[in-house]
């Protein structure tokens, strides 16, 4: 019996030591593979003109390696008990699976950054919520799939082969030492315990109280380099945390706390908002009338609003006779209010759509129960209650993200999508993302000629200016002086994208000209913006280009509109409907997400709520001096211009921005949590 127990104990000790050695060898080999992939990612995406110090590069590689060790150690701890239990012949399969998954995640992160200019974020979950087939078709046509699979195979095989070679050599010595009793039992046990302790410490990533986390990603002043720090696994973990927070309506203070405020009243005090309690504070976030000049008492005007797919602001800068990117839109700008220093709320189409229509920094909002009942401040619902007939028109399929259901619930009387347009125009072809945008503008042209009993609110979402940048066969590509393009040229789809950009913008310009020269001109306000910037136009990584990273146009056309002094001041999507609705005589009921861009901010009573800065709903802001991540003074990057010595982080403006964003978040969570 003694012999059996002693034998069992020796086998158990050997299994513990072997599993611990296997775990550590896997950690080191896979972490090395991830670090090498990071170096490759930096080289693959290196922006033209970016110059950084060797010390900054080393900081990124070193910090990235810490994250690599962290995620590999976490996987090893989870795998360790399994390695003890299962037969040794399965160990290579188990560690190989981890290797393959981690390398795949890093390669996904590489291409995700190329597309969205950010490491993997919550938008990634749209792969399953969007038209997955269309996304896969786009990936196949627009990304180096064969090269990526080759790198995946090589990196995974290299890490697995290195693990096997190292483990075979070390385990042979370990087993010989334990079997021949050259290593005492107590020393073997101590070694296993120390190795497990170090594994747990590596999972934490630091000796300090706070574990290595999102706050440790920023190690340089270059946003590009900081974006290279997370590997695919840790970026996916951050995205999952963000996704969970967006779906957590049990704690209305969640967003406020993340932005540095422990209560809504604390944020209100920073903004100079006087309110006796939370109910009064929530009421103060809504427009009450009498706060801006309006068309009150006059018949309501039609409002045509265009959310143009990937409609970046940068091409506007290079428009010329021999470099035509705007087509028929160009001559309309002289009679328009063009806000040329303007940012999108979010980096994706659906997040921006929700931000604009539902005044929410939380996304996805309407995929859960919150989308199944009317949101009281929904823009189409407010306009419907004001007597408008509300119409949503898109060249894509409205089943995308469940929009066909959500849009009707939130106040749209009609939803016209690619399927409706195909039925109306049988010659239309259904492509990856829907029908060509030309059918949207043809439908609108015909619809606007019909007599309506009510004023119209039309929200238009285009789709053609999207990878893979296909265009209808009848589109005539135009010659351009390519030297006039003043931006980056790294993307091989740049000129295809310029053509699809011109195609969509020219169609918009044609409709604007038609309406502005027709009988409805005095009775119609038109506005257009982009949902987000586009990847083909660059990474905007150099300091002199960083301010362009989220810029989209915002243009308003209408009779008798005084454009005011803010056309070159920083602004963003949150400022659009506080600007447009008063033009229609609607001065109450909507969330005051931002400021009215037609007014002089210097003449407004509350400077905190009217300060000329731009804010993204994912936590970045920009003023005339530079841009920064909210709450992080070290992230401040100066913008080019006359700021000079004044180029510095403004702590007060940062506090205002965090308070405004926090209160918008709180309003959504507190109101829609039941």
Within 10 angstroms of residue 58's Cβ, the number of other Cβ atoms is 11
Cβ atoms 453, 428 nearer than 8 A: no
Cβ atoms 295, 386 nearer than 8 A: no
Q: Beta partners for 343?
A: 551, 572
- Cα–Cα distance for residue pair 404/437, rounded to 1 Å: 19
Main-chain phi, psi angles of 458, to 5 degrees: -115, 125
- Cα–Cα distance for residue pair 416/394, rounded to 1 Å: 6
pLDDT surpassing 80 at residue 315 = yes
Cβ atoms 658, 666 nearer than 8 A: no
Task: State whether the Cα torsion 353-355-357-358 is positive or negative.
Answer: positive
**Predicted local distance difference test score (pLDDT) of residue 183:** 58
Cβ atoms 212, 67 nearer than 8 A: yes
Is 345 part of a structural domain of the chain? yes
Highest mean pLDDT among 352-356, 363-367, 430-434: 352-356
Query: 502 and 559: one domain?
Result: yes
Cβ atoms 348, 532 nearer than 8 A: yes
pLDDT surpassing 70 at residue 48 = yes
Q: Which residue has the higher pLDDT, 334 or 208?
A: 334
User: What 3-state class would DSSP assign to 317?
Assistant: helix
Alpha helices in 517-603 (DSSP H): 576-583
- Cα–Cα distance for residue pair 457/301, rounded to 1 Å: 9
Write the CB contacts of 43 (distance below 8 Å, at least 6 apart in sequence). none
**Predicted local distance difference test score (pLDDT) of residue 531:** 96
pLDDT surpassing 50 at residue 91 = yes
Is 614 part of a structural domain of the chain? no
**Predicted local distance difference test score (pLDDT) of residue 27:** 92
- Cα–Cα distance for residue pair 594/259, rounded to 1 Å: 18
Mean pLDDT of 639-665: 88
**Predicted local distance difference test score (pLDDT) of residue 661:** 98
Q: Which residue has the tokens 């190292």?
A: 166
- Cα–Cα distance for residue pair 392/279, rounded to 1 Å: 33
Q: What are the Cα distances from residue 351, in Å, to 123, 129, 171, 451, 574?
A: 8, 12, 51, 34, 13
Is 612 part of a structural domain of the chain? no
- Cα–Cα distance for residue pair 442/460, rounded to 1 Å: 12
Query: 583 and 443: one domain?
Result: yes
**Predicted local distance difference test score (pLDDT) of residue 642:** 64
Query: 268 and 354: one domain?
Result: no
Query: 215 and 72: one domain?
Result: yes
Q: What are the Cα distances from residue 344, in Å, to 252, 536, 557?
A: 25, 17, 20
Query: 129 and 73: one domain?
Result: yes
**Predicted local distance difference test score (pLDDT) of residue 294:** 46
Confidence of residue 492 (pLDDT cuts 50, 70, 90): confident
Cβ atoms 231, 34 nearer than 8 A: yes
Q: How far is CA 366 from the centre of its chain?
A: 17
Q: Which residue has the tokens 């483990």?
A: 167
Cβ atoms 401, 364 nearer than 8 A: yes
Highest mean pLDDT among 151-165, 287-301, 397-411, 656-670: 656-670
Mean pLDDT of 272-292: 87
pLDDT surpassing 60 at residue 158 = yes
Mean pLDDT of 373-394: 96
Domain count, the chain: 3
Within 10 angstroms of residue 145's Cβ, the number of other Cβ atoms is 12
Query: 531 and 658: one domain?
Result: no
**Predicted local distance difference test score (pLDDT) of residue 275:** 92
Mean pLDDT of 167-186: 61
pLDDT digits (tens, 9 = 90+) for 560-609: 999 999 999 999 999 999 999 999 999 999 999 999 999 999 899 899 99
**Predicted local distance difference test score (pLDDT) of residue 460:** 98
**Predicted local distance difference test score (pLDDT) of residue 296:** 47
- Cα–Cα distance for residue pair 380/654, rounded to 1 Å: 31
Is 611 part of a structural domain of the chain? no
Q: What is the mean pLDDT of the chain?
A: 88
pLDDT surpassing 60 at residue 493 = yes
**Predicted local distance difference test score (pLDDT) of residue 457:** 98
The last residue of one of the domains, among 543, 568, 601, is 601
Mean pLDDT of 312-335: 97
User: What 3-state class would DSSP assign to 388?
Assistant: coil
Is 639 part of a structural domain of the chain? yes
Cβ atoms 559, 521 nearer than 8 A: yes
Cβ atoms 337, 556 nearer than 8 A: yes
pLDDT surpassing 70 at residue 336 = yes
Cα three-residue angle 453-457-458, rounded to 5 degrees: 115
Cβ atoms 68, 230 nearer than 8 A: no
Q: Beta partners for 572?
A: 343
Cβ atoms 282, 667 nearer than 8 A: yes
Highest mean pLDDT among 109-118, 395-404, 598-607: 598-607
Token readout for 175 is 């087993």
- Cα–Cα distance for residue pair 183/175, rounded to 1 Å: 10
pLDDT surpassing 80 at residue 651 = yes
pLDDT surpassing 60 at residue 178 = no
- Cα–Cα distance for residue pair 671/664, rounded to 1 Å: 11
Confidence of residue 367 (pLDDT cuts 50, 70, 90): confident
- Cα–Cα distance for residue pair 387/457, rounded to 1 Å: 10
Q: Beta partners for 80?
A: none
Query: 321 and 421: one domain?
Result: yes
- Cα–Cα distance for residue pair 72/62, rounded to 1 Å: 15
- Cα–Cα distance for residue pair 604/337, rounded to 1 Å: 20
Highest mean pLDDT among 13-27, 200-214, 428-442: 428-442
- Cα–Cα distance for residue pair 224/488, rounded to 1 Å: 15
Three-class SS string for 510-524? HHHHHHHCCCCHHHE
Domain residues for the domain of 639 are 252-284+619-674
CATH label of the domain that carries residue 373 = 3.40.720.10
DSSP summary character for residue 411: T
Query: 338 and 382: one domain?
Result: yes
User: What 3-state class would DSSP assign to 377?
Assistant: coil
Give percent of the chain above pLDDT 70.
Answer: 90
Query: 268 and 402: one domain?
Result: no
End-to-end CA distance of the chain: 64
Write the CB contacts of 473 (distance below 8 Å, at least 6 apart in sequence). none
Write the CB contacts of 502 (distance below 8 Å, at least 6 apart in sequence). 324, 325, 326, 327, 478
Token readout for 621 is 């802001």
Three-class SS string for 113-125? HHHHCCCCCHHHH
Mean pLDDT of 31-57: 91
Is 279 part of a structural domain of the chain? yes
pLDDT digits (tens, 9 = 90+) for 130-149: 555 655 566 656 678 888 89
Q: Which residue has the higher pLDDT, 27 or 10?
A: 27
Q: What are the Cα distances from residue 423, in Å, to 405, 414, 419, 428, 436?
A: 20, 15, 6, 9, 14
- Cα–Cα distance for residue pair 424/420, rounded to 1 Å: 6
Question: Strand 524-530 relative to strand 614-615: parallel, antiparallel, unpaired?
Answer: unpaired
User: What 3-state class would DSSP assign to 95?
Assistant: helix
Query: 444 and 547: one domain?
Result: yes
Confidence of residue 124 (pLDDT cuts 50, 70, 90): confident
The last residue of one of the domains, among 538, 573, 601, is 601
Is 533 part of a structural domain of the chain? yes
User: What b/e sequence results for 87-110 when a residue is b if at least 16 CB atoms lie within 10 Å of its CB, and e otherwise?
Assistant: eeeebeeebbebbbebbbbbbbbb
Is 609 part of a structural domain of the chain? no
Main-chain phi, psi angles of 554, to 5 degrees: -140, 120
Confidence of residue 187 (pLDDT cuts 50, 70, 90): low
Query: 87 and 226: one domain?
Result: yes
The last residue of one of the domains, among 177, 211, 242, is 242
Query: 90 and 176: one domain?
Result: yes
Q: Beta partners for 405?
A: none
Confidence of residue 322 (pLDDT cuts 50, 70, 90): very high
Confidence of residue 640 (pLDDT cuts 50, 70, 90): confident
**Cα–Cα nearest to 464, from 508, 427, 423:** 508
pLDDT surpassing 70 at residue 54 = yes
**Predicted local distance difference test score (pLDDT) of residue 185:** 61
């Amino acid at each position: 019996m003694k012999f059996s127990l002693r034998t069992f104990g020796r086998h158990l000790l050997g299994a513990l030591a072997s599993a611990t050695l296997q775990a550590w060898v896997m950690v080191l080999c896979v972490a090395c593979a991830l670090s090498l992939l990071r170096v490759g990612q930096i080289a693959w995406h290196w922006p033209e003109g970016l110059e950084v110090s060797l010390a900054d590069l080393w900081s990124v590689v070193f910090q990235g390696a810490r994250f690599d060790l962290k995620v590999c150690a976490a996987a090893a701890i989870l795998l360790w008990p399994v390695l003890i239990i299962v037969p040794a012949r399965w160990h290579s399969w188990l560690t190989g699976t981890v290797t393959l998954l981690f390398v795949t995640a890093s390669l996904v992160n590489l291409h995700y950054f190329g597309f969205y200019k950010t490491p993997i974020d919550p938008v990634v979950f749209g792969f399953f919520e969007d038209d997955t087939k269309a996304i896969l078709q786009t990936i196949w046509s627009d990304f180096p799939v064969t090269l990526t699979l080759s790198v995946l195979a090589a990196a995974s095989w290299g890490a697995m082969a290195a693990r096997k070679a190292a483990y075979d050599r070390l385990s042979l010595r370990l087993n010989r030492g334990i079997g021949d009793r050259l290593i005492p039992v107590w020393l073997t046990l101590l070694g296993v315990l120390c190795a497990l302790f170090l594994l747990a410490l590596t999972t934490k990533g630091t000796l300090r109280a706070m574990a290595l986390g999102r706050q440790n990603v920023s190690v340089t002043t270059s946003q590009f380099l900081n974006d290279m720090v997370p590997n695919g696994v840790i970026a996916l973990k951050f995205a999952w945390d963000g996704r969970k927070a967006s779906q957590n309506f049990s704690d209305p203070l969640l967003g406020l706390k993340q932005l540095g405020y422990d209560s809504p009243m604390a944020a209100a005090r920073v903004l100079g908002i006087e309110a006796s309690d939370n109910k009064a504070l929530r009421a103060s976030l809504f427009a009450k009338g009498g706060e801006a000049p309006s068309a009150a008492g006059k018949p309501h005007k039609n409002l045509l609003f265009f959310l143009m797919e990937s409609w970046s602001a940068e091409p506007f800068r290079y428009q010329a006779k021999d470099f035509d990117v705007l087509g028929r839109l160009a001559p309309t700008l002289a009679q328009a209010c063009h806000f040329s220093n303007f940012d999108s709320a979010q980096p994706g189409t659906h997040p921006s759509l929700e931000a604009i229509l539902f005044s929410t920094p939380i996304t996805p909002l309407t995929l859960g129960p919150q989308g199944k009942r009317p949101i009281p401040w929904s823009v189409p619902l407010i306009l419907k209650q004001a007597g408008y007939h509300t119409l949503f028109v898109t060249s894509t399929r409205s089943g995308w993200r469940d929009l066909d259901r959500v849009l009707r619930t939130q106040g749209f009387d009609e939803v016209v999508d690619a399927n409706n347009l195909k039925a109306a125009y049988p010659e239309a072809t259904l492509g990856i993302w829907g029908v060509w945008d030309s059918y949207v503008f043809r439908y609108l042209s015909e619809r606007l000629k019909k007599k309506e009993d009510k004023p119209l609110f039309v929200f238009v979402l285009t789709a053609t200016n999207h990878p893979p940048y296909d265009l209808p066969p009848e589109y005539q590509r135009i010659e351009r002086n390519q030297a006039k393009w003043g931006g980056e040229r790294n993307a091989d789809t740049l000129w295809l994208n310029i053509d699809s950009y011109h195609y969509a913008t020219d169609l918009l310009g044609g409709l604007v000209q038609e309406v502005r020269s027709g009988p409805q001109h005095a009775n119609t306000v038109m506005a257009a913006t982009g949902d987000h910037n586009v990847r083909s136009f660059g990474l905007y990584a150099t300091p002199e280009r960083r301010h362009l990273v989220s810029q989209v146009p915002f243009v308003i056309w209408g009779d008798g509109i005084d454009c005011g002094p803010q056309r070159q001041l920083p602004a963003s999507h949150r400022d659009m409907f506080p600007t447009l609705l008063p033009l229609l005589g609607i001065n109450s009921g909507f969330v005051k997400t931002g400021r009215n861009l037609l007014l002089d901010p210097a003449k407004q009573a509350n400077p905190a709520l009217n300060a000329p800065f731009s804010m993204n709903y994912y936590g970045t802001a920009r003023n005339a001096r530079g841009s920064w991540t909210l709450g992080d003074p070290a992230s401040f990057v100066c913008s080019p211009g006359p700021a000079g010595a004044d180029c510095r982080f403004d702590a007060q403006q940062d506090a205002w921005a965090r308070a405004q964003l926090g209160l918008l978040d709180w309003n959504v969570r507190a109101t829609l949590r039941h």
